[in-house]
């Protein structure tokens, strides 16, 4: 579904992404791991078109998205949950969800299945996003990315600042979405145990490069935890 090849990105004179290449398949969770500052968030922003890439290509289902703006990537089937959630605090839960449908016709309904995945959102439709707990805001951010029915979901550290019970719920939703085999999921994460539970495939980044990759089931045998501690 997603194919990334030779991706390079710079901030000023700093070389942030160095020839990053990988693929993400339908029905699989591809986990990107690494310490702070290795380029994980920049990678997702590059895939989403929030920052332009210097060289390399990004293709989704055979379509070259490398130079497409973010709104065209959304139309092509990319959903993005940024680090820190970035919901609209003064808008209600329902209004936040409808922002995810902005490019569709005004009468497009919010899919009922979102409320099955995140029951708390249906209970709080009229509540402002800024009044939700951190865990509820994270569920809202994921639902907002899902509302348009993406075929690629990009998640940037969804466990950050979230209580353990909600982390477990979010993990269950991610696994359920992957098991439907209707989307590919790329998950940037620092919480090793959460990542290991979900990973079908993994990448480890250091200094902007992919230094290790493999099947999720082999993470322990491959010494991934040790790589993250170096």
3.40.50.11240, 3.40.50.1220, 3.40.50.300, 3.40.50.11810: CATH of 2-229: 3.40.50.300
pLDDT-based confidence at residue 229 (cuts at 50, 70, 90)? confident
The share of the chain scoring above pLDDT 70, in percent, equals 100
Give the pLDDT confidence score for residue 107 in this predicted structure.
82
Burial of 120 (0-12, 13-18, 19+ CB in 10 A): middle
CB 2 within 8 A of CB 24: yes
Single pTM value for the model: 0.95
- Pairing type for strands 184-189 and 29-33 reads parallel
Q: What are the structure tokens assigned to 37, written together?
A: 């500052």
- Pairing type for strands 14-24 and 2-11 reads antiparallel
Bridge partners (DSSP) listed for residue 81: 155
CB 153 within 8 A of CB 121: no
Bridge partners (DSSP) listed for residue 213: 203
User: Given a cut of 70, is residue 15 above it in pLDDT?
Assistant: yes
Mean pLDDT computed over every residue of the chain:
95
pLDDT-based confidence at residue 230 (cuts at 50, 70, 90)? low
Higher pLDDT, 55 or 103: 55
- Using one digit for the tens of pLDDT, what is the confidence trace for 52-78? 899 999 999 999 999 999 999 999 999
Q: Ramachandran region of residue 7, left (φ > 0), alpha (ψ -120 to 50) or beta?
A: beta
How much is the average pLDDT of 140-167? Answer: 94
């Amino acid at each position: 579904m997603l194919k990334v090849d030779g991706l390079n990105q710079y901030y000023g004179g700093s070389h942030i992404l160095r020839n990053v290449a990988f693929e993400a398949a339908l029905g699989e969770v591809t986990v990107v791991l690494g310490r702070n500052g290795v380029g994980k968030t920049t990678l997702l922003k590059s895939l989403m078109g929030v920052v332009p890439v210097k060289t390399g290509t990004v293709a989704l289902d055979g379509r070259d998205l490398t130079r497409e703006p973010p709104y065209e990537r959304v139309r092509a089937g990319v959903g993005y949950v940024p680090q820190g959630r970035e919901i609209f605090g003064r808008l209600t839960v329902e209004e936040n969800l409808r922002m995810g449908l902005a490019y569709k016709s005004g009468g497009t309904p919010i899919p009922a299945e979102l409320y099955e995945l995140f029951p708390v959102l249906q209970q709080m439709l009229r509540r402002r996003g800024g009044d939700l707990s951190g865990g509820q805001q994270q569920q809202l951010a994921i639902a907002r990315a899902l509302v348009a029915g993406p075929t690629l979901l990009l998640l940037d550290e969804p466990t950050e600042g979230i209580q353990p019970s909600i982390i477990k719920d979010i993990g269950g939703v991610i696994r359920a979405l992957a098991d439907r085999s209707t989307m590919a999921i790329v998950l940037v994460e620092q919480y090793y145990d959460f990542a290991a539970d979900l990973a079908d495939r993994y990448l480890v980044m250091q200094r902007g490069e992919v230094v290790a990759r493999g099947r999720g089931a082999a993470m322990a045998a491959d010494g991934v935890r040790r790589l993250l501690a170096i």
